[in-house]
Chain A
């Protein structure tokens, strides 16, 4: 039983990271219907900035984080304005193709600018492991899980109980009507991109210590889990992103502990296919099937 509980606890760290990454995807998807395949690469840029500011420039880690996440928001906004906005009138598939091109572009640029040597980013919370009986959880993992829940709640409150949040929901529901009501679709979408990249950037930077080092491509495998979390939770749902992320983090760790660590991606792929077959809209999403 303790093995089970320990595995669940250890899975909370990764679960939080997947959930945050999925949240970033969801924010963008909600308002523009685009699955941003480049989110991981953009997030990596944020992590690289944290490393540069902290290690090369020598800033304290908290300030590096702040500046890098802000830069990430700016990067997300710029990406929308420069690349995605022009394709708004075309079919969605064109935008998706564009995000894939941006994935290549940003991964490549990150490699050219920062190189492929793994870099270290310090843990947010250091210190002795928190123990409870024979169970243990690192402070950092606890922080990640806590941050995810808090952020999820904040976003929920924002969307459901504030006026700007209402505006965003309006654009997500029906862009034309929203525009008729005077809501600027452009600004909402750009803001969503900014927020989406910023949150994903936070997720990526949190994931660095457990990933064996910060490299330009280290988010590739994490992105697969993030997508799986979105599929499981339902693409447009914030709650789904959080629940899906934690579920996937815990389940994959349980499988790794009880059976084998080796087929994680295969397991996730099977999970994606199963969800898409049985209930494509996921746990909390809607409108997934093609209907005439």
Chain B
């Protein structure tokens, strides 16, 4: 019996010995092992004699899955360019990974894109928090990112060497929404905002317009039940609610407002004012207002809109030509314009120099200019109203 117990104790020697061995191995091999982690070498930067590869992380599943439609817009524009000879004799390739709107997944995806797929640059990455995760991999490896789908102040308000904004800053959009509320003489305004950089940047913009919200209530992106917030706004008798949220929570909130029979003036961010809301929030979406930089897609007299719609129907026929695809198209336009402006060999540095030289580039979403000290995106936005199943530009 005693021998048996000693044997049990001796069994722990095996794993204990292994622990010791691994510690020694770490000391011996640790420093040499780290050299094999792939860093960007000249030949593996996504450019071959026939292709240039871009990477993207977007949500394809989950509450933000609609944003994944931007992939179709990017792909359509790339296909359009490829059909017209490509860029510098090379075809454009897009690798698009699903980040489920979650920063840790986005970070792993970016590692895959950079170290395994060896992409040249990233384009049209979606989300504020996810972009933050991406750049922790992109920046140390000097990989450019064109057109992150966010206007959060940490990107739009801060100069970053490798990051080129296309979207208007949320501060700009927030200020537009706040100014609109004041213009409409809405005395008491409540704000519902997402509890992250996206929502907080927009809120700051609203406050910058001089508007003083009567109440500002945060929510987290996974929330689905807004009956309490609706009740709060109703009991405070606000004249208007500014909704700074992504599509699904916006729908749920609008329906919650309908459920308590409360219909204030509703103003929302361009991020969630999408035509689907006419079906999903049929009572409270019509008659709402929102900011926009992509023109309403029924304005086919605009040549950019026409090109987008024809590009989508030609190259991505099964995919909806939605405002999300329009974002992707716009961001792809900027990315390709930068490529076309490269002088000499195609490297990441020459690409960035070329981007910095872009001035008043016309895109679907407006005009963009960069310089070596400024990477801000589109500056012009306007208000649209949700009317008759469409977003209609408001004059004045």
Contacts and interface: CB of A to CB of B under 8 A. Distances in A.
A141 B230 CA distance: 15
A65 B231 CA distance: 31
Interface string A5-32: 0110011011000000000000000000
A85 B226 CA distance: 42
A162 interface: no
Interface in B202-237: 218-220, 223-232, 234-235
A50 B64 CA distance: 25
Interface in B49-71: 61, 63, 65
A262 interface: yes
B61 to A, nearest CB: 6
B259 A129 contact: yes
B195 A262 contact: yes
Contacts of A11: 227
A262 B219 contact: yes
B243 to A, nearest CB: 15
B228 A10 contact: yes
A136 B235 contact: no
Contacts of B234: 6
B260 interface: yes
Given A129-B258, A129-B261, A212-B63, A3 B231 contact: yes
B227 A10 contact: yes
Given A7-B231, A262-B218, A136 B261 contact: yes
Contacts of A261: 219, 223, 225-226, 228-229
Contacts of A138: 259
A256 interface: yes
B244 to A, nearest CB: 15
A269 interface: no
A6 B261 CA distance: 11
Contacts of A136: 259-261
A205 B218 CA distance: 29
A6 B230 CA distance: 10
Given A10-B227, A257-B232, A116 B61 contact: yes
Contacts of B235: 2-3, 6
B220 A253 contact: no
Interface string B60-94: 01010100000000000000000000000000000
Q: How large is the interface on A (under 10, 10 to 19, 20 to 34, 35 or more residues)?
A: 20 to 34
B47 interface: no
A210 B61 contact: no
B279 to A, nearest CB: 10
A211 interface: yes
Interface in A125-165: 129, 131, 136, 138, 141
Interface residues of B, number: 25
A174 B61 CA distance: 49
A3 B224 contact: no
Contacts of B230: 10
Contact of A10 (B219, B224, B231, B248): B231
B102 interface: no
B252 A212 contact: yes
A129 B226 CA distance: 16
A131 B61 contact: no
Contacts of A129: 258-261
B233 to A, nearest CB: 10
Contacts of B258: 129
Nearest to B230: A10
Nearest to B223: A261
Nearest to A136: B261
A14 B225 contact: yes
Nearest to B235: A3
Nearest to B65: A117
Given A136-B260, A261-B219, A3 B232 contact: yes
Interface in A248-276: 253, 256-257, 261-262
A16 to B, nearest CB: 13
Contacts of B248: 212-213
Residue of A14, A117, A212, A257 with highest tally of chain B CB at under 10 A: A212
A107 to B, nearest CB: 15
A211 B220 CA distance: 15
A208 to B, nearest CB: 11
Nearest to B62: A116
Contacts of A10: 227-228, 230-231, 259-260
Nearest to A129: B261
A253 B228 contact: yes
B319 to A, nearest CB: 16
A18 to B, nearest CB: 12
Contacts of B227: 10-11, 13, 210, 253, 256
Contacts of A257: 228-229, 231-232
Nearest to A253: B228
B224 A210 contact: yes
B190 to A, nearest CB: 14
B61 A6 contact: no
A224 to B, nearest CB: 14
Interface string A110-132: 00000011000000000001010
Nearest to B251: A212
A117 B227 CA distance: 24
A117 B63 CA distance: 9
Contacts of B61: 116-117
A211 B222 CA distance: 10
A13 B256 CA distance: 12
Residue of B225, B235, B258 with highest tally of chain A CB at under 10 A: B225
A6 B231 contact: yes
Given A10-B230, A14-B225, 15 more contacts: A3-B231, A3-B232, A6-B235, A6-B260, A7-B231, A10-B260, A11-B227, A129-B258, A129-B259, A136-B261, A141-B259, A211-B225, A257-B232, A261-B229, A262-B223
In the complex, the 3 A-B pairs of residues with the closest C-beta atoms, listed nearest first: A256-B228, A212-B224, A3-B235
Interface of B: 61, 63, 65, 195, 218-220, 223-232, 234-235, 248, 252, 258-261
Interface of A: 2-3, 6-7, 10-11, 13-14, 116-117, 129, 131, 136, 138, 141, 210-213, 253, 256-257, 261-262
5 contacts: A7-B228, A10-B230, A256-B227, A256-B228, A256-B229
